[in-house]
Structure 1
Amino acid sequence: MAKRPTKLQLLSQTGPSTKTCQATESVCADFLDYLRSECHLAANTIAAYGRDMQRFATWVGKRKLNQITIRDLSGYIADLQSFGLAPASIARNVVATRTFFKYLQLEGIVEGNPAELIATQKMWQRMPGVLSKSQVEAFLRSPRKTDAYWQRDIAMLEVLYATGCRASEVCSLRVRDLSLVEKHLKCEGKGGKQRMVPIGARAITAIHFYTEQIRGKLAAKSPHPPEQLFLSRSGRALDRIQLWRLVKFYARRVGIDPKISPHSLRHSFATHLLAGGADLRYVQEMLGHASIQTTQIYTHVEHSRLKKVHQNFHPRA
């Protein structure tokens, strides 16, 4: 029986470009399996990497992975810019490409790693959108009693800002994860990592009101009532898309930038803590960042605001 060719042999074959492309797509699929089973990345992260790898495999075309150079990869990044991708999306593609080539090295498909030399331009590192404290106050008061599920929406918005949790973390939050007497909750972040996050009095009051008023009625609509705290009108767990739409809806109501997203409240949470004097390490822990470098972007945001204050009010600015 003939032996099945190795990945390296497949990628070194000469022949129609379709075969090369198929081999590349196969390795990309194996890479995603590796991220899922070995690295234990979150489902949303793997989905994002999957989109990046699909774009990368299409770009590879006739090329062989073990012959790609830094010059080729620089051209790939330039192509991403020409496609009109957002700076954050380009930066993520760079990270995905670097990680992919590290995987190729582990598998013996390539010897060197040209992706290590890809530079992430400073222009790609955009400051996250942050709401002012007055904007946050107006936003949190935006649900009205005429809204269908205003009790739930107030609690949801309060939790987003009070904890700095990601949209996916808020949607997956279960009733049993709440420890309101101790004023904290347990959330599951990227890669299944759990952390305890403090929660303030206003958010606790909003949660109590929501659970007492309508959560039970919503849960009764589902044949199998979910454990999640925030439920949709059908009694199912609220998903990220529904949460995103609600945030957009209430932002428009109070005249806040339409580009706002659930992540904007996470950015605002971190920036306001640092502005109040919170230690960067504590903020890192509350946000669930694996690296302190990720949290440091919020210090740059705060510094930019301090510069603006200095320019506006210092007599010799």
Structure 2
Amino acid sequence: MDLNVNNSLTLFIEYLQIEKNYSQYTIEHYHHDIREFFMFMSEQTIETLNEVKYFDVRIYLTRLYNEKFARRTVARKISCLRSFFKFLVREGLVAENPFALASIPKAEKKLPEFFYEEEMQALFNACETETLLGQRNKALLELLYATGMRVSECSQIRMKDLDMYLSTVLVHGKGNKQRYIPFGSFAHDALEHYIHNSRKSLMSKRDSPNEYLFLNFRGGQLTARGIRLILNKMIEQSALTGKIHPHMLRHTFATHLLGNGADMRTVQELLGHAFLSSTQIYTHVTNEYLRKTYMTHHPRA
């Protein structure tokens, strides 16, 4: 395959990192999906990106459907490749975008999963706070539930972003947008305990100081991947069944706020959503929750 193909990918990844300020997690998905398409090009003996035509895109789409990928996954892959070729057109590296006319399949309308309040309590009860890492994990869980921030945002919090006096945290979101989020007394107490006990001890394990709020067992920055592993471990130790994914805490945060009377604009600001339509899905969740509660508890339901 032509060397310029790989060079183009390198340029695109740099664009995502510098201009778009995408998280490493998102960039890894882009990189994987584009490399996958490069393999398809090799199989089809397509040497250069300029040779890719709409007919090739149709063949690629057919392959994805034959391999039984979910509609949401196919939509992500097509969107990724459309953005890639749009960038190449902008840079004058290809003449046209063959993915411009490719239709993205509509994703199934799936309500976001969330924890009920008693399930959240089971998670908190499963946190052991006798160890250094246990204290950190309790503070991590409390802050994620208290703020609804993304895991990628949580892993980037520095000590200077935290205002313990006002109980607020400065979050650096997508597109380098910043927002302040308040947190309650439970998160405040857990953070105080972690910072003055566990974090101080973890920090002593390295020679140079670390500015990040959450540290790993070596005293380095706790990554987004590390947070996901911690959350999965927590649910294994709790009475809950199934797998936890970090976004469930974000969904739970929004659902519980709306369910207890918060207005949608406020929840939108707290979540860092650019569009209100992204927040509106949680109204469907709360309506479903109300319906189930009614059907369970009303004597004549």
TM range (shorter): 0.7 to 0.9
Deviation at residue 216 of structure 1 after TM alignment: 1.2
**Bigger shift: residues 196-205 or 298-307:** 298-307
Q: Which 10-residue stretch deviates more, 52-61 or 193-202?
A: 52-61
Residue type at the aligned position of 1:57: F
Measured after TM superposition, the shift of residue 185 of structure 1 is 0.6
Structure 1 residues 233 and 28, CA, compared in 2 at 3 Å: closer, same or farther?
Answer: closer
5+ residue gaps in structure 1? 1-17
Report what 1:92 is aligned to.
76
Distance 1:110 1:51 in 2: 24
Aligned to 2:100, what secondary structure does the other structure show? helix
Which residue number in structure 1 is paired with residue 284 of structure 2? 300
Q: Which residue of 2 aligns with 1:282?
A: 266
Deviation of 1:114 after TM superposition, in Å, equals: 4.0
Does residue 54 (structure 1) correspond to residue 38 (structure 2)? The answer is no
**Which is further off, 62-71 or 138-147?**
62-71
For residues 37-95 of structure 1, the C-alpha deviation after alignment (integer angstroms, 9 at most, x for no partner) is 33333333222211111112222333464564555434434433444555544332232
Aligned AA (1:144): E
Deviation track 1:5-31 (CA, whole Å, cap 9, x = no partner) reads: xxxxxxxxxxxxx33xx4433333322
Task: Name the CA shift for 1:75/1:127 in 2 (closer, same or farther; >3 Å).
Answer: farther
1:189 is aligned with what amino acid?
A: G
Q: 1:42 to 1:102 in 2, by over 3 A?
A: same
**Contact 2:215/2:221 (CA < 8 Å) preserved in 1?**
yes
For residues 161-220 of structure 1, the C-alpha deviation after alignment (integer angstroms, 9 at most, x for no partner) is 101111122222122211122121112122332211111111001111122222211111
In the alignment, the residues of structure 2 paired with residue 75 and residue 300 of structure 1 have an alpha-carbon distance, to the nearest angstrom, of 37
Q: From 157, 175, 178, give the equivalent of 1:191.
A: 175
Q: Deviation string for 1:222-258 (max 9, x for gaps)?
A: 1112111222222222222322121111111123233
Deviation at 1:99, TM superposition (A): 1.4
Partner of 1:209: 193
The two structures have a TM-score, normalised by structure 2, of: 0.85
Structure 1 residue 115 and structure 2 residue 96: aligned?
A: no
Q: 1:185–1:198: 8 Å Cα contact kept in structure 2? A: yes
Match of 1:35 in 2: 16
Counting aligned pairs with the same residue, the percent is: 34
Distance 1:221 1:90, change over 3 A: same
Aligned residue in 1 for 2:116? 132
Q: Residue 70 of structure 1 contacts residue 118 of structure 1 at CA under 8 Å; is this kept in 2?
A: no
Equivalent residues, number: 297
Question: Retained in 2: the 8 A contact 1:98–1:116?
Answer: no
| Letter paired with 1:118 | S
Q: Is 2:148 the counterpart of 1:167? A: no
Q: Partner amino acid for 1:104?
A: L
> Aligned partners of 1:68 and 1:279: how far apart in 2?
48
1:166 and 1:263 in contact (8 A); partners too:
yes
CA RMSD of superposed structures (Å): 2.8
Aligned to 1:259: 243
Name the SS for the 2:284 alignment partner: helix
Q: Which amino acid aligns with 1:32?
A: I
CA distance in 2, matches of 1:266, 1:25: 36
Note the C-alpha offset of 1:127. 3.0
**Aligned-pair distance for 1:156?**
0.9
Letter in 2 for 1:58: M
Residues 162, 170 of structure 2: 8 Å contact kept:
yes
CA distance in 2 between partners of 1:67 and 1:312 (Å): 60
Asked if the contact 1:65/1:110 (under 8 Å) is kept, the reply is no
